[in-house]
Structure 1
Amino acid sequence: MPELPDVEGFRRVLAQHAVDRPITRVEVLDPQVLRDTSPRQLTTALPGTDLAKPRRYGKWLMAPVHQPGHRHGKDDPTLVFHFGMTGSLIWNDAAGEPLHPHDRLVFAMEDGELRYRDMRKLQGVRLTGNDHDVEVLLSDLGPDAKDLSLAEFRDRLQGVRRQLKAALTDQSVLAGLGNLLTDEILWRAGLHPRHLTTDLSSSDVARLHEELHDVLRVSIRRGCVPPDDSWLTGWRDQPEAPCPRCGTPLRRMHLGGRATVWCPHCQPAP
């Protein structure tokens, strides 16, 4: 389930392996992962171009396209990736490596291949016409969670009357948080997923903001929400698992269609 830390990891894959290396061939193995573009557009527009320095916003990853020897201009296209529930970017040093069953797109370069892999195909890949199209695509998103100040965070939460789990996973409130991150942050902050945003005290908001940044810092370094024994994430998929902090059996429920895990002792009901 790719969230902000995972997409940061995919950004590093792009930055390390694919920047300023001419694309020699694009192979569309499964057109169902394409959004607002066609196989013909990808296979004709991209060969002979380079990818510029990628950037991430929330769960979205943008790879600007430019002609070799030129900078990306505002009227140049951009490859935009959204990884849905199961997407990823894989770099293979050797072209011709056997394909994985879920490889959907291949961007061949002189000394390797960038592959978009996705089992469930809930989101996918776009080729926007220009920078304005990217801005429109991202216009409904809230601020990126990674660099959010305490004041901005307080303003975002005060602007909605929602249960905390629903507010934090709403991409129009904050961009980048998903199920694993939100459950981990709420557990560390000692706040129940059903706690209302309007009932948060100043100290609740400050603690929540601090835990958000602590969890993101470690997760970004690891490229995922770590499934460590000291983390809620390390136990959430185990039946009858104990809270890694107090040993109380963890509870499970669905909130807004999302599987939610919490500790009834560390996160008392409001």
Structure 2
Amino acid sequence: MPELPDVEGFREVLTACGRHRRVTDVEVRDAGVLRGVSAQRLRRELKGRRLGEAWRHGKWLFVPTGHDGPTLVWHFGMTGSLRCCSPDEPVERHDRILLTLDDSRQLRYRDQRKLQGVRLVDDTEVERITDGLGPDALTVRGAEFRELLSGRRRAVKSVLMDQSVIAGLGNLLCDEILWRARVAPRTPARDLSETALRRVHARMGRVLETSVHAGCVPPRPSWLTGHRDDSDPTCPRCGWLLSSHRVGGRRTVWCPRCQG
């Protein structure tokens, strides 16, 4: 599932491929990924417009289209991605929307499960989307982070995954951060000491920095993510057998020895 590092990578793809480029054609191969806009309106509104500077908040990607144009909004759901392709590259089965640019390259939205998708919105709707999100996980400061978590009754993992609290963290990131901070994922957030909250925030910053550089949450041998899907997963830090249960409806992996 695309999380903040993946979406930051998609922002870089869009910037490298489409910034300041004019859209010359819009092909909607599957309208099932459109949200609140028809294929006809998407083509009408985008064709001839120039793509602006893309920006991201959490897992959402926003692309203005000219001075007075609407904003193209992407949410990648479970399986979405954005690719920059040459026109002679074969179109794949799950390429749902193709934007042809004035240098003939194409931005292709690829998505297998179609759980989210593409929107075309005005400034008011952009504000509505961002107002429903917490601060971006890459930019939230330590004091604000501690204030956001302290006093909440839910499990700390559930709080971290709540996009209205902090935007951008998903299942893999949260498990990795809490493992590195030596905090059990089912611990109520309000029960964490200030020292523990500081540690979670610090580990979050390090995990995000590495993951953004990699363009994903990397399955490295020294990371929890490198072992969570092993047949008999063991902790890369202490060698203890990892536990796996559901927290907040999501499969959660942790080390009962390191994380208590």
TM-score range, shorter chain: over 0.9
Q: CA contact under 8 A between 2:150 and 2:192: conserved in structure 1?
A: no
User: C-alpha displacement at 1:221, in angstroms?
Assistant: 0.7
Once the two structures are superposed, the pairs formed by residues 95-174 of structure 1 within 5 Å of their partners are: 95-109=87-101, 110-128=103-121, 130-174=122-166
Other-structure match for 1:6: 6
Structure 2 Cα separation of the partners of residues 32 and 77 of structure 1 = 20
Other-structure match for 1:15: 15
Q: CA contact under 8 A between 2:152 and 2:188: conserved in structure 1?
A: no
Other-structure match for 2:25: 25
Other-structure match for 1:188: 180
Aligned residue identity for 2:174: T
Runs (4+) off by over 4 Å: none
Other-structure match for 1:37: 37
Other-structure match for 2:74: 81
User: C-alpha displacement at 1:160, in angstroms?
Assistant: 2.3
Aligned residue identity for 1:33: V
Distance of aligned partners of 1:159 and 1:138 in 2 relative to their CA distance in 1, 3 Å threshold? farther
Aligned residue identity for 1:125: V
User: C-alpha displacement at 1:100, in angstroms?
Assistant: 0.8
Q: CA contact under 8 A between 2:172 and 2:217: conserved in structure 1?
A: yes
Partner-residue secondary structure (3-state), 1:86: coil
Partner-residue secondary structure (3-state), 1:204: helix
Aligned residue identity for 2:57: Y
Partner-residue secondary structure (3-state), 2:145: helix
Structure 2 Cα separation of the partners of residues 227 and 44 of structure 1 = 42
Structure 1 Cα separation of the partners of residues 128 and 81 of structure 2 = 24
Other-structure match for 1:69: none
Taking structure 1 as the reference length, the TM-score comes to: 0.94
Aligned-residue sequence identity (percent) comes to 53
Aligned residue identity for 1:168: L
For these two proteins, the number of residue pairs brought into alignment is: 259
Structure 1 Cα separation of the partners of residues 247 and 210 of structure 2 = 26
User: C-alpha displacement at 1:138, in angstroms?
Assistant: 2.1
Structure 1 Cα separation of the partners of residues 11 and 172 of structure 2 = 20
Other-structure match for 1:62: 62
Q: Gapped runs of 5+ residues in structure 2? A: none
Other-structure match for 1:91: 84
Aligned residue identity for 1:203: T
Partner-residue secondary structure (3-state), 1:260: strand
User: C-alpha displacement at 1:96, in angstroms?
Assistant: 3.5
Q: 1:240 is matched with which residue: 226, 229, 232?
A: 232
Q: Gapped runs of 5+ residues in structure 1? A: 67-71
Other-structure match for 1:52: 52
